[in-house]
Structure 1
Amino acid sequence: MAKIKHASAYDVVDYVVTAAKKKKIMHLSSQEDEFNGEFLKINNEELINFGTCGYLGLEKHPHILAKSHELLGRYGSHFSISRAFVKAPYVEELENLISKIFDDHPVVIYPSTSVTHQSMIGTIIEPGDLIILDQQVHYSVQYPCQFAKLQGTMVKMIRHNNMEMLEDFIKRGYNQYDKIWFMADGVYSMYGDLPHKKELLYLLEKYPKFHLYFDDAHGVGWTGTNGCGSVFEYFKHSEKVVLISTLAKGFGSIGGIAVFNDIEMHRKIDIYGGILSYTHPLSPANVGAAIGSAEILLSDKIQVYQNELKELMEYLNTKLEDLNLTNTSSSETPIYFIGAGSVKVTHNLIQRVLADGLYVNTATYPVVPNDKTGLRFTLTRHNTKEHIDQLVNSIDKNFQLAVDEENEDLEKIYKTFNLPFKGKKTVKPAESENVFVETYNSINEIDAQLWDNLFKDNGNYSHNGLRCIEEIFSNNEKVEENWEFHYLIIKDENNEILLATFFTSALCKDDMLALENISRKIEKQREEEPYYLCSKTLTMGSLFTEGEHLYVKGDHSLVDETFNQFFIEVEKFKKATGSTVVILRDFQSDFQFNERFENEGFAKVSMPNTNIVEHPKWNTEDELLSFLTSKNGINNIKRYVFKYEDKFDITIKKTLTDKEAEEHYKLFSNVKKANFAFNFFAYPNKITKILSKYDEWEFIEFRLKGSDELIGGIWGFIGENHCCPLIVGLNYNYIKSHHLYKQVMYYMVKRGNDLDKSKTYLGLTSDYEKQKYGAKLVSIFAYMKVDNMYNWDLLSS
């Protein structure tokens, strides 16, 4: 009954990356005829390369190329047979060499690091185990954990590098699970920071069931004895540690590596290894390159190469420190992140740096929070100190220019990343002299006629409608039932309204638009922790309204200044209410200011469709059917609605007694408890009594003929030119026997027709049922900004 279109994480990423692609800073194509590591040719421009991860610069090392050519000549392009039948001889040679890098620990070579994780996690993790993911562990680790869930393995997530949270999870699950695995990166690929190795070693020794699973893809090669990486030497003595890495970065080749401290685990993987047994081996050319690389790492040359890179790192670190740039990365890794804050500053900065002839990466949502985006770059032996000077000078020069051009506050950016600000005190010059802002905390402070001229025919938020909503969601016992209201009106010097809207700030469920099975699981957790995965959320409109909540005079000459001021006020509301999530809704596909919102760091998120009926007036059931086009829908209405219509007594009331109000709320509660498609906190139980006080609201009641029992109800808002049946209540005992819901749906449409309203808003759920009545399905979306990605990463996991 309450099926809806759910937001897709892939769609969100699509919106974000497409916007960056249009600005030519992501999804670029390399055009060079020959790669030397030092430069990338993009858009016919030769750019100094600060974006690839071949940290030791071995991609064209003569020895590596010679070994690659040698094996290509000896074995051809491919050894096309599964490892379970025959292992290619050159693979065994490579595994023996790489084993020496890792103190003769056994290793298994895979075609890629992603395949390595799928094989390892799918094989070594048991149904009785617990997996704990670090929030920022690489996606290639998180993905196979989804499949581990299918066998019954519990998967949880901690905030990034939060060791207290990790130990708490260990303690709580210690007697419940056979093994507890913590999965983390050896070097985190976005911010270039490191795991807390001392604390993890302490936990490893303290808890016998505790195991570690590291992805050290960004650590192996450029650091550690013989390039063994950032974590191996710290944990090589424990059989409870698994290390995964790659041949694709420090090795200058391609492929995945699994390093074992446990001999039996190695045997088990080597014999079967799940997907490993069905995967072809690396090509001879790739393995030859990896053999050549392993021979270099096992020679004295590795110390020379590592020292050369570390000398460049030290030089770069000193430069960044001297300029006091917003560098958030560890000084111990060749991965750097320069925080720029909002998306518009990040995009501007990267465009400027690219224009200066330097290639760098874009770090944006959902990998980082909307307001913590930035410029990411990597350092390799291909770079020189002269390159570094050019890069640092470009970032230093363009950072301030980007901040100024995008009208941002430099000091605020430093605060966003918890960095000390040593520059001159800045004042954001965004307050416009041409537009004038009015803010209010209650609709009672706003002239009724002014407000209704803008919103009276849209949903249930006329002036009086909002008076009602304010009364419902104030002075309640439960924190989630108390909302803060904020009204915003922006005018020009002639007192013409350029923009108007309202916001509510409330505690909301982060899984509001998640899949039903996810919300059901989360609700089980909320039986113990009522506010688990909940966030203080600033919402345009409210969770008791639907429609176009934003009025904007889009053709006015001051529209740009109006939006500048709008976003300033949104930030003020967010800060004043302590909100960590901002949701601006509901927008249709033709919204013309999409780019403005994306530039402010808002991610575009699909919302459930809304449904609107706009039939001409009909006087008979046959006339209604004549407007409909679906034969199946017409037959369904005849069979399940008209056939049962005489079994019901229908009553329409403007006011309710206290007893009737309780009965209506009980029926609403039935629907709320049964449906998780749109998961929100239940409304206060006083809501029906308060709605009953306001003339715009009415109640349609359903009873069986000859019975006093209320079995269905509709709470509807009646506007001047529209009808908005917002809430449905049902007794589920009559859904199948009397097709109660279908009867209720029919009367939602019929009531709008009887009142001769031009539109009937049918709400967000049950699209299929509503389209039977010719409802126009309207796709809508919202813009969302999140301070901390932990809850959203947890939902995704």
Structure 2
Amino acid sequence: MAKFESIIKTLDEIGKVAKSRGIIHLFAEDELLNGRIITIKGKQLVNFGSCSYLGLEMDERLKAGAIDAVKKYGTQFSSSRTYVSCTNYKEFEELVAKMFDAPILLSTCSSLGHQVVMPIVMQSDDCVIFDQQAHYSMQEMIYHLKLNGTFITTLRHSRMDELENKVIEYREKYKRIWYVIDGVYSMYGDFAPVEDIIALMDKYKQLYLYADDAHGMSWGGKNGTGYFLSKTKLHPKMILATSLAKGFGSCGGVFVFPNEELRDTVKNWGGPNTHSGPQQPATVGASIASAKIHLSDEIYEFQKSLKEKIAFTNHIFDKYKLPLVSNSEGPIFFAGVGLTRMGYNMVRRMMDEGFNVNLGIFPAVPESCTGVRFTITNHIKMEDIENLAQKFAYHLPKALKEEGRAMNDIFRAFRKVANFEERIGDAYENSNTEALTFKVEQFKSIKEINSSEWDSLSGSYGACNYDNLLFLEDVFCNNSEKENNWEFFYYIIRDNSGKVILSTFFTSCFIKEDMFSPAKVSEKIEEERKKDPYYLTTKAFIMGSMLTEGQHIYIDKESPKWKQALIKLLDLIWTEQEKQEATVLMLRDFREDDLEIRSFFMDQGFVKIDIEENNLINNSEKIDSKVFFQEKLDIKKRYYFRKDILKDEDLFSVSFSPCKKEEAPIYYQLYKNVKSTKLGLNTFDLPFKLFSKMCDSENWEVIKLELTEDKKIVCVGLCEKNKRNYCTAIMGMDYSVNPSHNLYKKMLYHTICRGLELKVDNICLGLTASSAKHKLGAETIKQVAYIQMKENYIYNMALIESIKLNVS
């Protein structure tokens, strides 16, 4: 939905906030570690953040193996494995192959190993289906695979019905269909449906599997070979990846192949395997010691000990009715808390109580599904687990109260993945007393609101005034197409004296999910829409509407309770979003430089994205057009004005008039001309009814450019005018006119002239084409939106990204 650079910028901001709150980028301060206790900022914490599940990293045999290897072979063996490997590497390979009873390939780490294996085994005539929650180290390989011409798509998390449908769809077109998954998913700790996947592989010869069981290694399976192989044998159409950097107690990656021929091909030609460094002697020495343990019966004692602690964790968290997303048989647990600021609060409280836990936050989870992630290892004692549960139960209601939230927020956020309401019920107080300090007014029509009060609050610029909203309500109802039926929701929040703290409006409407995608992506998706008009479309709950711009919300920041009023607004719109079954919530058109608003919304679990700039001419001086273009434009802009705008003026006549019924079809066709070329902002077509109704409204007028020669209308600007603003809403053009005549730029010029003539406060030139508007004296306002997405919308965004790669 947003540009890649915008997303990176947002993730960087999230990281900076987490770091500033002492949640990430921390350092242990211990001179000696024991696996159970870790010291951070001078405080000893029980370590619930380790992935060394069996506790083997502290086993004396592994330490001795590493020390002995360094004494024998030095600190490194710096040679490509293509030519020669260190002495102890052969023993290491043989032991691991014996563990898995299959051909294996070792890598420096599992992430690097994916770069070795995937581009070799997944070829140009293959299709690769990534599970929505497959680990990023594998999803990162999408771009490499696309360079080879491999077709990429995605699948809703563990949806076997959808997987079978995709196999049926693609099996005649592609030689192999690879399904890429985790064995144990790293955030929620849930498992892949192994038996169901194997059944589909047996049913369809084209279906192959690529599974990363990094978090399942050692604590499950024969010889500690992992969760996946505890459920099935290695399938002949399967490649298994796993990590030695977690339960195994050392470092590196292992890739298990169904036959030696395929293993040898990857070993010979897998890029990083030939040019990157090998595992170093100390790591290999420790790994040999661990492999020997795995090949002995002792591994099952380690597994038994951990599984007892896992079972106890499930029991004790269930006893205290805590919101675990899944009662896992594995060592990863995730306690849902909902909003981002709740996550910060609970992690801080747990650390203050002496527990090192992790924050599960976007993009690892959806924005409103923040949680406290913790892991169980053999170093952890039963009393540690019970203490953690007790303190979590003690602090959760306090954190909810401190943040002005309730358990219903958590129930709502995790409704798709957990049955919290059934399991937890009314164990916690479920109210937010802060909301009682406001007078809340909700309306379904602008008709129910005092027009003078609304207009006094509707922002200094834009088209959110009473009359225009009344017009839009009339247009976008009772239409045959569902995308042209909008529901309007108005909110006014007052303090106890009746003074307005906040007012805004939202619309519930259908949008195309590729709205902000590159034009080539939308072209591909539009091909599918010829068969299914509502392919990759969804209902959205949007601040403002699809046909308004400007300031969509009034906030009295002089009020000491404006933030609490915003929180109350969010409660209202979250509730309505659920009723509307809207998959995306967007709060839009905020100034980029409003850091206070940015911090507030990101704490509520919203993601900031950059959106199109707005362009505005302030006319507070009420000057005429001649003065404006002579005095307000610098030398360069005046040159541009003469060269691109004034030339050929005699070829066109311009008029400003109310919209005419008999001309409405012309307006509509000219609009469709422009719309068909603007797939970079892909929206549903506006209904003809809109253009027809404009002709009945005194608040709308048309600027027409006609050819002087034959009076043909070649360009129109449909503008909304109110007491303070003159706003360009829709533009239409005849593309048969020579482009050198610069119709678009001429229309901008005449729009400005008309606004100056009407002596409005602001001339709103709209979004896009900021450079052309800036040259005519417009102020460019950088804007951002804050969004939250449901799981289905996130999946569809991933699907659109795969389409983008396939058409690039």
TM-score by length of 2: 0.93
Q: Per-residue deviation at 1:607?
A: 1.7
Instruction: Say if 1:777 and 1:630 are closer, same or farther in 2 by CA, change over 3 A.
Output: farther
1:159 to 147, 156, 160: 156
Residue of structure 1 in register with 2:796 after alignment: 791
Residue of structure 2 in register with 1:706 after alignment: 709
Task: Give the Cα separation in 2 of the matches to 1:123 and 1:63.
Answer: 37
Contact 2:171–2:206 under 8 Å retained in 1: yes
Q: Per-residue deviation at 1:522?
A: 2.9
Task: Give the Cα separation in 1 of the matches to 2:547 and 2:590.
Answer: 17
Contact 2:459–2:551 under 8 Å retained in 1: no
Residue of structure 2 in register with 1:74 after alignment: 72
Instruction: Say if 1:301 and 1:724 are closer, same or farther in 2 by CA, change over 3 A.
Output: same
Check if 1:30 corresponds to 2:34. Answer: no
Check if 1:115 corresponds to 2:119. Answer: no
Residue of structure 1 in register with 2:484 after alignment: 481
1:519 to 493, 516, 522: 522
Residue of structure 1 in register with 2:645 after alignment: 641
Check if 1:50 corresponds to 2:37. Answer: no
Instruction: Say if 1:374 and 1:735 are closer, same or farther in 2 by CA, change over 3 A.
Output: farther
Q: Per-residue deviation at 1:126?
A: 1.3
Contact 1:434–1:492 under 8 Å retained in 2: yes
SS of residue in 2 equivalent to 1:752: helix
Check if 1:8 corresponds to 2:6. Answer: yes
Contact 1:606–1:782 under 8 Å retained in 2: yes
Residue of structure 2 in register with 1:272 after alignment: 269
> Given residue 690 of structure 1, which amino acid in structure 2 is its aligned partner?
K
Instruction: Say if 1:357 and 1:517 are closer, same or farther in 2 by CA, change over 3 A.
Output: farther
2:286 to 276, 284, 289: 289
Task: Give the Cα separation in 1 of the matches to 2:4 and 2:140.
Answer: 20
Instruction: Say if 1:265 and 1:565 are closer, same or farther in 2 by CA, change over 3 A.
Output: same
> Given residue 321 of structure 2, which amino acid in structure 1 is its aligned partner?
N
Task: Give the Cα separation in 2 of the matches to 1:4 and 1:365.
Answer: 15
Contact 2:459–2:552 under 8 Å retained in 1: no
Residue of structure 2 in register with 1:125 after alignment: 122
Task: Give the Cα separation in 1 of the matches to 2:2 and 2:376.
Answer: 47
Q: Per-residue deviation at 1:233?
A: 5.0
Q: Percent identity?
A: 33
Gaps of 5+ in 1: none
Contact 1:630–1:772 under 8 Å retained in 2: no
Residue of structure 1 in register with 2:775 after alignment: 772
Residue of structure 1 in register with 2:612 after alignment: 608
Contact 1:456–1:720 under 8 Å retained in 2: no
Which deviations, in whole Å up to 9, do the C-alpha atoms of 1:515-572 show, x marking residues without a partner? Answer: 4443333333333332223221111111111111111111123434423422222123
Check if 1:655 corresponds to 2:653. Answer: no
Which deviations, in whole Å up to 9, do the C-alpha atoms of 1:219-275 show, x marking residues without a partner? Answer: 111211111011135454422100011121112222222110132211210111133
Q: Per-residue deviation at 1:620?
A: 6.7
> Given residue 277 of structure 1, which amino acid in structure 2 is its aligned partner?
T
Contact 1:16–1:604 under 8 Å retained in 2: no
Check if 1:222 corresponds to 2:219. Answer: yes
Task: Give the Cα separation in 1 of the matches to 2:314 and 2:332.
Answer: 11
Task: Give the Cα separation in 1 of the matches to 2:580 and 2:275.
Answer: 55
Task: Give the Cα separation in 1 of the matches to 2:80 and 2:708.
Answer: 72
Residue of structure 2 in register with 1:169 after alignment: 166
1:369 to 366, 387, 390: 366
1:628 to 633, 644, 665: 633
Task: Give the Cα separation in 1 of the matches to 2:307 and 2:251.
Answer: 23
Task: Give the Cα separation in 1 of the matches to 2:30 and 2:667.
Answer: 70
Residue of structure 1 in register with 2:384 after alignment: 387
Check if 1:240 corresponds to 2:237. Answer: yes
Q: Per-residue deviation at 1:6?
A: 7.4
Contact 1:113–1:246 under 8 Å retained in 2: yes
Task: Give the Cα separation in 2 of the matches to 1:630 and 1:264.
Answer: 72
Instruction: Say if 1:7 and 1:513 are closer, same or farther in 2 by CA, change over 3 A.
Output: farther
Gaps of 5+ in 2: 803-808
Task: Give the Cα separation in 1 of the matches to 2:664 and 2:106.
Answer: 68
Task: Give the Cα separation in 2 of the matches to 1:625 and 1:11.
Answer: 40
Task: Give the Cα separation in 2 of the matches to 1:121 and 1:754.
Answer: 65
1:547-626 map, 5 Å: 547-588=550-591, 589-590=593-594, 592-614=596-618, 624=629, 626=631
Which deviations, in whole Å up to 9, do the C-alpha atoms of 1:473-494 show, x marking residues without a partner? Answer: 1111111111000111112333
How many residue pairs are counted as aligned between the two chains? 792
Task: Give the Cα separation in 2 of the matches to 1:731 and 1:6.
Answer: 34
Task: Give the Cα separation in 1 of the matches to 2:323 and 2:477.
Answer: 42
SS of residue in 1 equivalent to 2:713: coil
Q: Which stretch of structure 1 is more off in the superposition, 85-94 or 466-475?
A: 85-94
Task: Give the Cα separation in 2 of the matches to 1:668 and 1:121.
Answer: 47
SS of residue in 2 equivalent to 1:387: helix
Contact 2:610–2:783 under 8 Å retained in 1: yes
> Given residue 418 of structure 1, which amino acid in structure 2 is its aligned partner?
N
RMSD: 2.4
SS of residue in 2 equivalent to 1:137: coil
Task: Give the Cα separation in 1 of the matches to 2:112 and 2:467.
Answer: 60
Check if 1:354 corresponds to 2:351. Answer: yes
Q: Per-residue deviation at 1:591?
A: 5.4
1:685-696 map, 5 Å: 685-696=688-699
Instruction: Say if 1:713 and 1:653 are closer, same or farther in 2 by CA, change over 3 A.
Output: same
SS of residue in 2 equivalent to 1:757: coil
Residue of structure 2 in register with 1:468 after alignment: 471
Instruction: Say if 1:200 and 1:5 are closer, same or farther in 2 by CA, change over 3 A.
Output: closer
Q: Per-residue deviation at 1:89?
A: 4.2
Check if 1:729 corresponds to 2:726. Answer: no
1:672 to 654, 669, 675: 675
Q: Per-residue deviation at 1:154?
A: 1.8
SS of residue in 2 equivalent to 1:495: coil
Q: Which stretch of structure 1 is more off in the superposition, 648-657 or 4-13?
A: 4-13
Contact 1:4–1:608 under 8 Å retained in 2: no
Residue of structure 2 in register with 1:185 after alignment: 182
Which deviations, in whole Å up to 9, do the C-alpha atoms of 1:659-717 show, x marking residues without a partner? Answer: x2111111211222211222222211221111222222111112222123322111112
Q: Per-residue deviation at 1:619?
A: 5.5
1:302 to 287, 299, 302: 299
Q: Which stretch of structure 1 is more off in the superposition, 478-487 or 400-409?
A: 400-409
SS of residue in 1 equivalent to 2:736: helix
Instruction: Say if 1:440 and 1:655 are closer, same or farther in 2 by CA, change over 3 A.
Output: same
Instruction: Say if 1:281 and 1:520 are closer, same or farther in 2 by CA, change over 3 A.
Output: farther
SS of residue in 2 equivalent to 1:609: strand
Instruction: Say if 1:751 and 1:274 are closer, same or farther in 2 by CA, change over 3 A.
Output: farther
Residue of structure 1 in register with 2:96 after alignment: 98
Task: Give the Cα separation in 1 of the matches to 2:492 and 2:628.
Answer: 44
SS of residue in 2 equivalent to 1:77: coil
Which deviations, in whole Å up to 9, do the C-alpha atoms of 1:204-229 show, x marking residues without a partner? Answer: 10000100000101011121111101
1:259 to 253, 256, 262: 256
Task: Give the Cα separation in 2 of the matches to 1:443 and 1:423.
Answer: 38
Query: Following TM superposition, where does structure 1 have runs of at least 4 consecutive aligned residues deviating by more than 4 angstroms?
Result: 3-7, 424-427, 615-623
Residue of structure 2 in register with 1:343 after alignment: 340
Task: Give the Cα separation in 1 of the matches to 2:5 and 2:267.
Answer: 41
Contact 1:236–1:261 under 8 Å retained in 2: no
Task: Give the Cα separation in 2 of the matches to 1:321 and 1:581.
Answer: 32
Which deviations, in whole Å up to 9, do the C-alpha atoms of 1:353-386 show, x marking residues without a partner? Answer: 1110101111122222233221110011121112
Q: Per-residue deviation at 1:190?
A: 0.6
SS of residue in 1 equivalent to 2:653: strand
